[in-house]
Amino acid sequence: MSLSLSDRRIPLLIILCGAAELVAAHRHHDHLSEEQAKAPTDAILWIHIILQAAVWGVLFPVGMVLGITRSRWHVPLQSAGFALTIAGYILGHSHKGRMFLPSVHGSFASILFFPIAVQLLLGIYLKLHIHEKSFRPYAVVAHGIVGKAYPVLGWTQMLFGALTYRGYCRGGALGQCLAHYIMGSGFIAYGAIMAILLLVGEAWVRRSGRSPEWWDSWVIMLWGVVNTFTEHRGSVWSAKDMQHTILGVLWWAGGMLGIFLARNNQRNVVPGIIIILTGWAMSEHAQALMLSTRVHSMFGYTLMLAGVTRIIEICFFAPKSLPERPDDDSTSDHTLADSAPHFVDVNAGETGKTAAAKAFRHLPPFLLVAAGLLFMSATDEELKYIHEVEMDHVTYILIMFSTAFLIYTFMLVLIHLYSTTGRNAPDNATAGGDMGGGIELTSAGLTSKWYARVPPGESEGSGRGTHHVIGEDEDDD
C-alpha cells in the first residue's frame, strides 16, 4: 500500500522534533575541568564517530552517485543514511565520560538537519510524480543540487568533528587552521575534479567549449585575488604575511595569463607552473620545529611533482590536434590511437603510449590529494602533538600518504560506480560499448578519449559519441 505525501512526512517530523528536543535538553559545557577534558572516550562516543563517518564519508557519496545514474538502489541507500544519521546524532548527545566545549561541530550538526529534511521531502515529492510539467522539473534540479552537496557537507562536518575531539583551532590558532584546512581541502577537491574530468567528464568539457586550463586559471586567479587582500592583518608585516600575500599575487597574475592562453579552447601549462611555484614556496617555509619544516617540505615537493606531472600530461599524452570538424558519417571519436600511426587497434589490446597514458593520468590528481592531506596535517597544534609523542616525520608523512591512497581509491570507486550502474550499466548502454570493463565510459567500443581542442561548431547533437555527463538530466531516483 502506497503512502500519501502527508503520511510519509509524519515519521520524519516526529524524528526531527525529537532530535530538536534532545538538542535543547543537552547540556553544553562552557568551562571544562582538566578531568572532564581528559576523561576517556566511552563506547557511545566511539560508535557515534564511526557511524557518522561511515554514513557521511561512504554511504551518502555512494548514494549520490547512484542517484546520478538513476539506480534503483539510490532510494534505499539514502533512506538508510537518513535513519543512521539521526541515530548517530542522538548518540553524539548521549555519551558520558569525555566532555567538549561548545564548537562549530555541534552547531553545524544542527544546521545539517535542513539539507537532510529538504532532500528527503523533495525525494518523497518526486516519487509521487505529480505536477509533471510545472513544479516537478525545478524540484528535480533542487534535489540534485542538494544531493551533490552532501560530500562537501560530510567532509566539512567530519573535519569539524576531528578538530573538536582534539580541541584544536581555538583562540589564536584559528587563523592558521583556516588557512591549512581550507587550502588543503581545496587541493583534494582539485584532485577529485581532475580525476573526474580525465576519466568520465570529457563530454562535459567538450560541451562547455573551454579547455580544462581555462577553468583552472579562473579559479586560480579568483583565489589569488582573495588571498592578496586577506593574508595580512595588523600594521606589522611578518615574513609569512609577505610570503602568503605574494603567493596571492602570483596566482592572480598567472591565472590571467592562463585564461588568455586558453582562449580559442587551447591547452596550456600555466596552471602546472603555478602549482610548481606554490610547492617550491611551501617547501621553503620557515618553521619553528624541525618536524614541521620537514612536513612542509614534503608537502611542497609533492605539490611540485603534481605540477610537473600535469605539464607532462598536457605536453606528451594529449593528442596534438583534431580536425576542425568531424566527418558527418564518422563513427569513431579521436583518441590517442588516432593521433599516432604506430598505435595498435584499441579493440585488440592496449600497448605503447596508449597504455602509458591511461596509467599516467592518475598521477596528477593523486599527488594533489596527497599534497592537500599533507598541508592539512601541518598545523602547529598537530605537529606539536606529534612532536610530544615522539613520532618522527617519516612515520607521520607515510601515514598521510597511506590516507591519500585510501581517499583516492574511494574516489575511483565512486567514478567506477558512475560508469557501471543505473543508466550507465552495460545492459543500458545505448552505443553498444562495453561499459563494465573499465573505470571510464566508452563510446562505440572505444576507450575513453583524452581532451584536445574541440572542433568549432560542435554541439551536443553532432554525433560525437554517447558519453554521459555527470549530473545531466538527473532523475529523482
Q: What is the pLDDT of residue 429?
A: 54
Instruction: Please tell me whether residues 161 and 196 are part of one structural domain.
Output: no
Q: What is the pLDDT of residue 476?
A: 47
Instruction: Please tell me whether residues 162 and 179 are part of one structural domain.
Output: no
Q: What is the pLDDT of residue 34?
A: 60
Interatomic CA distance for residues 369 and 410, integer angstroms: 12
Q: What is the pTM of this model?
A: 0.79
Rg (CA), the chain: 25
Cβ neighbours of residue 204 closer than 8 Å, sequence gap 6 or more: 197, 469, 470, 472
Q: What is the pLDDT of residue 33?
A: 61
Q: What is the pLDDT along the chain (477 residues), one digit of tens a residue?
A: 444 444 544 444 444 455 444 444 445 555 666 666 677 788 898 999 999 999 999 999 999 999 999 999 999 999 999 999 999 888 888 877 777 778 899 899 889 999 999 999 999 999 898 998 889 999 999 999 999 999 999 999 999 999 988 889 888 888 888 888 988 999 999 999 989 988 888 778 888 888 889 988 998 999 899 888 877 666 788 777 788 889 999 999 999 999 999 988 888 999 999 999 999 998 887 777 888 889 999 999 999 999 999 999 888 877 544 333 344 333 333 333 333 333 334 444 555 777 888 888 899 999 999 999 999 999 989 999 999 999 999 999 999 999 999 999 999 999 999 999 988 888 765 544 444 445 555 443 334 444 444 444 444 444 444 444 344 444 444
Instruction: Please tell me whether residues 394 and 416 are part of one structural domain.
Output: yes
Q: Which three cell numbers stand for residue 77?
A: 541507500
Instruction: Please tell me whether residues 6 and 85 are part of one structural domain.
Output: yes
Q: Which three cell numbers stand for residue 243?
A: 610570503
From residue 344, alpha-carbon distances to 336, 340, 394 in Å are: 10, 9, 43
Instruction: Please tell me whether residues 6 and 150 are part of one structural domain.
Output: yes
Instruction: Please tell me whether residues 149 and 212 are part of one structural domain.
Output: no
Domain boundary among 137, 167, 197: 167
Q: What is the pLDDT of residue 439?
A: 57
Instruction: Please tell me whether residues 256 and 302 are part of one structural domain.
Output: yes
Instruction: Please tell me whether residues 27 and 107 are part of one structural domain.
Output: yes
Q: What is the pLDDT of residue 407?
A: 96
Q: What is the pLDDT of residue 263?
A: 87
Q: What is the pLDDT of residue 31?
A: 63
Domain boundary among 135, 167, 199: 167
Instruction: Please tell me whether residues 204 and 161 are part of one structural domain.
Output: no
Instruction: Please tell me whether residues 406 and 464 are part of one structural domain.
Output: yes
Instruction: Please tell me whether residues 203 and 69 are part of one structural domain.
Output: no
Number of domains observed in the structure of the chain:
2
Three-class SS state of 83: helix
Three-class SS state of 446: strand
Domain boundary among 110, 141, 167: 167
Interatomic CA distance for residues 349 and 72, integer angstroms: 34
Domain span at residue 468?
174-477
From residue 79, alpha-carbon distances to 2, 10, 33, 49, 84 in Å are: 16, 15, 40, 20, 9
Q: What is the pLDDT of residue 325?
A: 38
Instruction: Please tell me whether residues 433 and 369 are part of one structural domain.
Output: yes
